[in-house]
Amino acid sequence: MKKRETLNTEQQNKNSLEIDQFSVLKILETINYEDQTIATAVKKVLPDVEVVVSFAKKSLDSGGRVFYIGAGTSGRLGVLDASECPPTYSVPSDWFIGLIAGGDDALRRSIEGAEDDQFQAEEDLGKYNISSNDLLIGISCSGAAKYVISALEYAKKKSAKTVYLITNPVPYLSTSVDKVIAVDTGPEIVAGSTRMKAGTATKMILNMISTTTMISMGKVYGNLMVDLMAVNEKLVDRGARIIKKITGESYEKSLEALINADKSVKIAIVMIVKSCDAIEAKNLLDNANGMLRKVIKNKV
């Protein structure tokens, strides 16, 4: 086992050794400079992220779920990404599930000791009946959270796919998983403050996993979010504009179709393109596994 002091995220950053003496502008410039290194660090692990996307798609196609589980910042970022998938892509709320050590209270206030509670993870996951169709992504910047290790080991016992996302070359605590994503974000501006660069890298990777998985499952047409839930005025307007863009109809007719489609952008598009009612449009989409392009291109 590594010593905590050897972790890259625990080292002092040579560019910020005297940051307490910097001007405000120089502090901001230093943070910004370090932040620019994160995209490059993430680029190096894209082949590993690609594998995880394949795991996620297979799980969802099989009726399984994708779990994000972490402690502190890592847990909050997992909950954030999971919570944004239903409104963005109209997917069931249990497709992506975010769990954080300490429960929902830990989303608003620090419960740092929760990351050392290795028994709580099994209890938290127990209610979900984890199976071989599921994917569990354990998130721990340093790889030192016993809560995450316990979750990964529990999921493994249930034959689920497991992924360990860390922001050091090697985790402090290791366990057997199907894939490790080890993005080396280096020393933080404030030594050990992994809510900064490590957190940024974590959010980027989680965004990539969920977004790429949704694109591969037909939730996007071109680069338009055709599966959004038009649940407020902003999204109704966006939905109508998406329909207009794809069908070439006027904004008014696009909005009318959206309302008649019970605010389903995809169904409204098919109604216009195929000159059919909402029921037939939904059937066409169901037969194409929700792939709008297949319906439009007459491949079903």
pLDDT in tens, 185-224: 999 999 988 999 999 999 999 999 999 999 999 999 999 9
First vs last Cα of the chain: how many Å apart? Answer: 55
- C-alpha distances out from residue 90 to 58, 61, 122, Å: 19, 15, 29
Categorize the per-residue pLDDT at 107 as very low, low, confident or very high, splitting at 50, 70 and 90. Answer: confident
What number of CA atoms fall less than 13 Å from residue 50's CA on the CB side?
5
pTM above 0.85, yes or no: yes
Please report the pLDDT score of residue 56 as a whole number. 98
Q: What percent of the chain has pLDDT over 70?
A: 96
- Judged by DSSP in three states, 182 sits in strand
User: How far is the C-alpha of 193 from the C-alpha of 34, rounded, in Å?
Assistant: 13
Please report the pLDDT score of residue 7 as a whole number. 83
pLDDT digits (tens, 9 = 90+) for 133-184: 999 999 998 888 899 999 999 999 999 999 999 999 988 888 999 999 999 9
Q: Does the pLDDT value for residue 112 go beyond 90? A: no
Please report the pLDDT score of residue 102 as a whole number. 84
Please report the pLDDT score of residue 230 as a whole number. 83
User: How far is the C-alpha of 49 from the C-alpha of 37, rounded, in Å?
Assistant: 18
User: How far is the C-alpha of 96 from the C-alpha of 123, rounded, in Å?
Assistant: 19
Return the bridge partners of 137, or none.
68, 163
Instruction: Supply the mean pLDDT for the chain.
Output: 92
Please report the pLDDT score of residue 1 as a whole number. 52
Domains and CATH numbers, the chain: 4-216 (3.40.50.10490), 233-296 (1.10.8.1080)
Q: What is the mean predicted confidence (pLDDT) over 10-24?
A: 92
Please report the pLDDT score of residue 278 as a whole number. 94
pLDDT digits (tens, 9 = 90+) for 29-68: 999 999 999 999 999 999 999 999 999 999 999 999 999 9
How many residues are listed for the chain in this entry?
300
Please report the pLDDT score of residue 116 as a whole number. 63
Phi, psi of 99, rounded to the nearest 5 degrees: -125, 140
Categorize the per-residue pLDDT at 115 as very low, low, confident or very high, splitting at 50, 70 and 90. Answer: low
Q: Which residues are catalytic?
A: 84, 115
Q: Does the pLDDT value for residue 255 go beyond 70? A: yes
